[in-house]
Amino acid sequence: MEQVEREFMDFDVVIVGAGPSGLAAACRLMQQAQDAERELTVCVVEKGSEVGAHILSGAIFEPRALNELFPDWTERGAPLTTPATRDEVYLLKDAESAQKLPNAFVPKPMHNIGGELTRYVISAGNLCRWLAEQAEQLGVEIFPGFAAQEVLHDDDGTVRGILIGDMGIGADGQPKDSHMPGMELRAKYTLFAEGSRGHLGKRLIGRFDLAKDSDPQHYGIGLKELWDVPADKHEPGLVLHGAGWPLDKHTHGGWFLYHAENQQVVVGLIIDLSYQNPYLSPFDEFQRMKHHPLLKQYLEGGSRVAYGARAITKGGLNCLPKMTFPGGLLIGCDAGTLNFAKIKGLHTAMKSGMVAAESVFEAIANGDEGGNELTAFAAKWEQSWAYRELDESRSFGPAIHKYGTVGGGAYNFLDQLLGGKLPTLHDTTSDHAALKPASEYQPIDYPKPDGKLSFDKPSSVFLSNTNHEEDQPCHLKLTDPELPIRDNLPKYDEPAQRYCPVGVYEVVEDEAGQPKFQINFQNCIHCKTCDIKDPAQNITWVAPEGGGGPNYPNM
C-alpha cells in the first residue's frame, strides 16, 4: 500500500482498552481534573464492538478498588447485586468422587466470605459497561469498535500515542471501496490496558526490555460458560472452587462454579499453559469436567447460553515487568497484576489503573508536556495494597508448578502460616518451552459431547457471537508459514489443533493429499493462547479490523 496521509487528534491521555484497569484509570484522571478545576482530555479506545464485548472473567469481585474510586457505587447502580454467601473448595479425585476440603486447610486468599469486605458474584462485562457510563459522565471520550494497531514513537523511541487500524483493507492487503485510513491519536501519555498478552504491550515489553529483571511471564487459559438453570438448583451467592480430575498431576489448574443472579450459573476451567502433553485439549477437558456429579447436579436440566475463553496473565509479582517507559505505562493484565492466589484480578487491575492515573495527572498538573518516564509511579505502586497482595503471594504459582497442585498448595499454606518466611520460589521456564514431544504421550480419547452437558467447538463458537469481516488480512501471523507442517506436525502433532478453544487451526489435506495448515481466523475469540503456547513462537496475534471478535453478553 502507498503511504497515506492520516488525520490525527490530540489528547492529554489516550488509554488502550476499555477493561477494568483502563476505565478505572480514565475515571480517576477525570475525578482529579474536576477536583482541581482543570481541563483534561482523555480518550479510551476499545477494539470490541461495544464496551464489554470482549470482557470475560469468572468473576468473584472484591470491591476494594471500587470503594476507593466510587464510594457511592451502590447509589450509582453498580452491577454488584449477588453477595457471596457460601464458599466451598473440593478436590475431584476421579470422574465420580470428590472430597470437600475443610475450611481451615483452604489458603486464606481463597476465602470468599467473612472478613471486612463482601465479595460479589458479578459479570465483569457488565461492570465495565457501568464503569464506561461513569467515565462518560465525567467527560471521557470512549471509542468502541476501533482497534489500536500500532504505537506511535518519536525518533528516540518515546511513545506519543497510537495508530488506529485501517478499516476496509481486503484479504489481499489492498484498499477496498469502503477503505477508511486509521487515525493517529496523539497523547502526552498513553496507558496500555489491553488485557492479557496485549499485542502492543508485548511489543513495548520487547522494545524497552521491560522484563529484563523479571521471571518469564506465565499464563493460563480460562474457559467459561453461562447457564440458565432451574430454580430448584439455584442458590444465589454459592461459590465453588476445585482442582484435580480431569487434569493429571503434570497439568495444573482448577475449576469454578458460581451461582449468579437471574437463575444463572457460571462454570469454568482454568488450565496453566505450562502443560506438557501436546495431545491435551483445554476445551475437551472442560467439556468432560462438567459430567462430574458434583458439577452436573447444578447444570442438569439447564441450558447453556454463552461460551468464551481468554488467556490469563498469572505469573504474579516475580513475573511483573517494569510498567513505565518514556511516554506511557502498562497497567492491569497487560502488565500482569492478577493475584492468582485469590483467583482474582479485577480489583488489582483497577488499582493499577488508579495509581497510574494519579501519577499521570500529577505530572501534567505540574506542567509536564508528556513523553517522560513517570518514575514516580513505581514508588506509588509499590506502596499500594495491590502490590502488597502480589508480594504476599509471590511464590503461589511457582510452588504449584514445582510441587504440583497438592504439594504446592501445602507449601503456600505453610508460607501463609509463617507470614511469608519461606524462600521465594521461581519458575524460569516459559510456558511454550514446557511442551514435550508427542512421541512421549498417547493421544487422548475424549468422550463425544452429549449436547446436554458437553458440546462441540462449532456450537460453542456460535454462542460466543464471534464475527469478523471475512475479506480482510488474517490477523494471526506466521513468521514461517511452513513451520507448522514441517516442524510442529511431526514433533508435536501440531498442538494448535487442540490448544485453540474454538477450532481456528486445523491440519487438513490439500488437493494432492498432503497435510496443510489451515487458519479459520473468523472463529477467533481473541484469547491469545496461540501467541503464548506455540512451541516455536511462530504465531503472532495482532488486532483485526475494529469491531471484530466475540460479542459476549454478561460474561
Sorted by where each begins, the domain ranges of the chain are 9-71+125-215+317-392, 396-425, 457-541
Q: Among 136, 119, 115, 54, which residue's Cα sits nearest to residue 83?
A: 119
d(CA 351, CA 398): 24
Q: What is the model's pTM? A: 0.97
Expressed in angstroms, the distance from the first to the final Cα of the chain is 39
d(CA 360, CA 364): 6
Residue pair 167/149 in contact by the 8 Å Cβ criterion: no
Q: What is the tens place of the pLDDT at every residue in 374-392?
A: 999 999 999 999 999 999 9
* Residue that wins the pLDDT comparison between 2 and 306: 306
Residue pair 321/205 in contact by the 8 Å Cβ criterion: yes
Could you give the angle at which helices 385-392 and 346-365 cross, rounded to 10 degrees? 140
Burial class (CB within 10 angstroms; exposed 0-12, middle 13-18, buried 19+) of 72: exposed
d(CA 170, CA 189): 33
Band of the pLDDT at 1, cuts 50, 70, 90?
Answer: very low
Query: At residue 2, does pLDDT exceed 60?
Result: no
Q: What is the CATH number of domain 9-71+125-215+317-392?
A: 3.50.50.60
d(CA 531, CA 212): 20
Q: Give the dihedral sign, CA 183/184/188/193.
A: positive
d(CA 251, CA 309): 18
Band of the pLDDT at 3, cuts 50, 70, 90?
Answer: low
Name the CA radius of gyration of the chain, rounded. 23
Q: Average pLDDT over the chain, rounded to whole?
A: 96
Q: What is the mean pLDDT of residues 184-191?
A: 98
C-alpha cell at 211: 522484563
Supply the pLDDT for residue 102: 92
Query: At residue 24, does pLDDT exceed 80?
Result: yes
Residue pair 481/536 in contact by the 8 Å Cβ criterion: no
Q: What is the tens place of the pLDDT at every residue in 451-501?
A: 999 999 999 999 999 999 999 999 999 999 999 999 999 999 999 999 999
Residue 222 pairs in a beta bridge with 270, 310
Residues 390-404 as b or e (16 or more Cβ within 10 Å = b) = bebbbbbbbbbbeeb
What fold characterizes domain 457-541? Alpha-Beta Plaits (3.30.70)
Q: What is the tens place of the pLDDT at every residue in 266-278?
A: 999 999 999 999 9
